[in-house]
Structures are given as C-alpha cells and as structure tokens.
C-alpha cells in the first residue's frame, strides 16, 4: 500500500475511535498530499472534554491527536501567534467526522479569513521581543565567561523563537514549521537569510560568530518592531539590540 493511502486509512481508524469527539479533521502534510513515509499524521478533534495532545504509534506510523474545544479552535484564527499556521491548516483540512458541521464552519471561516481578523500583529510581535531580550543578554554573558555550550544554547533559542513573531509581522501564512523558515527568509530578504543560516549552524562559522549573528537577527527584528512599543518595553528591546 502506498504510504499516503496507509496514512489516510490510519487517520480514519483513529478518528473513528474518538466517539466522544464532536468532529475530527486531518491536517498537515498528509491532508495536503505533501507527506513522506516518515511524516506524522496530524489529527484535530473538536471535543468538549479531554483537551490536550496525545502522540500515538499506529501500524508503524506516528499519529499526533490534538483535542480542543470548538471555541478554542476558532480562537486560533484570531491569535497572532497561531493564525499563520492555523489558517492554512484549516483551509487544506480533510474533515473525517463532522456530523453537525462544527469543523465545516471553521473551515469556511479560514477560507474567508484575512489578517484584519487579527488585532495588531506588529504590536504582538514587538512584545515578544521584550521576553527574548533576556536571551540576548545571556548570549553576551556566556560569551564573556567563555561558556561556549551555554552561549550556543541561548543563541539557538533566540534564533528559533524569533521566527513566529517575524512571520506575524510579515503577515505570513505557512502550512507547518517546516515551511516557516524558508518563507521567512524569502520575506525578510538575503540579509536575514544569511544571518539565520549562520546563527542556526547551516552556514559554517565558529561558535562565537554564530552567537553574535543570532544577536544580529534580534537587532534586525528590533529595528523593525521596536517603534510599536512604548515606555519600559521599548527601552528593554532597544538596550538588548544595542548590545
């Protein structure tokens, strides 16, 4: 059996084993037909009870089953942290069980969605930089103390955590995190792409250069987003960028 046919059969079987779910949808690469034999099978169940995510192993495949209340699923379309991934996921979802049209309505909302449904993505993204300022200070502190492993860990945290806020600032939609990195590199341009490759370890560089380049990414983000902050928050971000 072709790996995708096998994945679809597993998805249908797992969906049928959630009798208390109001509806179940298949999302992600299996739903869009871009999966490979090792792709996980992503299922979302609209359910009034038992929220959370379970990871299953079914017939040699990994299945990720997320249960959430319908209102929570709908709210993701309005949250700047979630909308970039949630909208394309629902647009391409396959509804496996939806007797009352709960997910059909959600899919229709995603089809009609625009960024106007999200309140001030730039301000949210700028606010994320406030928390990430600590990672910039940690990188500099660990470099000063010669603690290369700690500096490396903090620069990776910083490099990865900048992606979702900057995606919101660029109004990006991405089917999964696998698509996020290239989409953001294309949106921000070659300077960001080169710095990200160095900070993430894709391009060859020594540990200190990689750590400093992660801070350069933060400076790029701050240059764009700090004007959306005021008071102490803006001071925190500007001070970290000045490092």
Q: Are 159 and 196 in contact (CB under 8 A)?
A: yes
Same-domain check for residues 11 and 112: yes
Q: Which of 117, 142, 168 corresponds to the end of one domain?
A: 117
Same-domain check for residues 155 and 68: no
Same-domain check for residues 168 and 211: yes
Express as a percent the part of the chain with pLDDT over 70.
100
Same-domain check for residues 81 and 141: no
pLDDT at 43: 93
Same-domain check for residues 104 and 125: no
Q: Which of 57, 88, 117 corresponds to the end of one domain?
A: 117
In CATH, what number is assigned to the domain containing residue 169?
1.20.120
Rounded Cα gap, residues 192 and 106, in angstroms? 35
Q: Tell me how many domains the chain contains.
A: 2
In CATH, what number is assigned to the domain containing residue 39?
3.30.460.10
- 133-176 residue pLDDT tens: 999 999 999 999 999 999 999 999 999 999 999 999 999 999 88
Q: Which of 85, 117, 149 corresponds to the end of one domain?
A: 117
- 2-43 residue pLDDT tens: 777 888 888 888 888 887 899 999 999 889 888 888 888 999
Express as a percent the part of the chain with pLDDT over 90.
81
Same-domain check for residues 143 and 96: no
Residue ranges making up the domain that contains 181: 121-242
C-alpha gyration radius of the chain = 20
pLDDT at 8: 82
Same-domain check for residues 104 and 157: no
- 51-76 residue pLDDT tens: 999 999 999 899 999 999 999 999 99
Same-domain check for residues 127 and 233: yes
Rounded Cα gap, residues 73 and 46, in angstroms? 8
Q: Are 63 and 80 in contact (CB under 8 A)?
A: no
Residue 127 CA: distances (Å) to CA of 115, 116, 196, 214: 18, 19, 21, 18
Q: Are 10 and 26 in contact (CB under 8 A)?
A: no
**Dihedral in degrees, nearest 10, Cα atoms 14, 17, 20, 22:** 40
> What's the whole-model pTM score?
0.90
3-state secondary structure the chain: CCHHHHHHHHHHHHHHCCCCCCEEEEECHHHHCCCCCCCCEEEEEECCCCCEEEEEEECCEEEEEEEECHHHHHHCCCCHHHHHHHHHHHHCCEEEECCCCHHHHHHHHHHHCCHHHCCCHHHHHHHHHHHHHHHHHHHHHHHHCCCHHHHHHHHHHHHHHCHHHHHHHCCCCCCCHHHHHHHHHHHHCHHHHHHHHHHHCCCCCCHHHHHHHHHHHHHHHHHHHHHHCCHHHHHHHHHHHHC
């Amino acid at each position: 059996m072709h790996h995708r046919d096998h994945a679809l059969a597993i998805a249908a079987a797992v969906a049928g084993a959630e009798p208390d779910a109001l509806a179940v949808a298949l999302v992600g690469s299996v739903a869009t037909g871009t999966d490979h034999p090792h792709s996980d099978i992503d299922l979302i169940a609209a359910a009034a009870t038992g929220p959370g995510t379970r990871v299953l192993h079914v017939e040699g495949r990994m299945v990720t089953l997320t249960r959430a209340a319908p209102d929570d699923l709908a709210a993701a379309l309005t949250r700047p942290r979630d909308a970039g991934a949630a909208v394309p996921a629902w647009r391409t979802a396959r509804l496996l069980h939806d007797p009352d049209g709960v997910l059909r309505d959600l899919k229709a909302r995603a089809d009609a969605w625009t960024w106007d449904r999200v309140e001030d993505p730039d301000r949210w993204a700028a606010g994320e930089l406030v928390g990430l300022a600590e990672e910039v200070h940690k990188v500099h502190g660990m470099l000063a103390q010669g603690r290369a492993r700690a500096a490396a860990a903090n620069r990776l945290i910083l490099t990865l955590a900048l992606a979702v806020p900057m995606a919101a600032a660029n109004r990006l939609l991405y089917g999964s995190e696998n698509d996020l990195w290239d989409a953001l590199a294309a949106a921000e341009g070659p300077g960001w792409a080169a710095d990200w490759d160095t900070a993430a370890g894709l391009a060859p560089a020594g540990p200190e250069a990689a750590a400093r380049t992660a801070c350069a990414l933060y400076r790029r983000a701050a240059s764009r987003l700090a004007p959306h902050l005021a008071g102490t928050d803006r001071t925190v971000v500007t001070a970290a960028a000045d490092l």
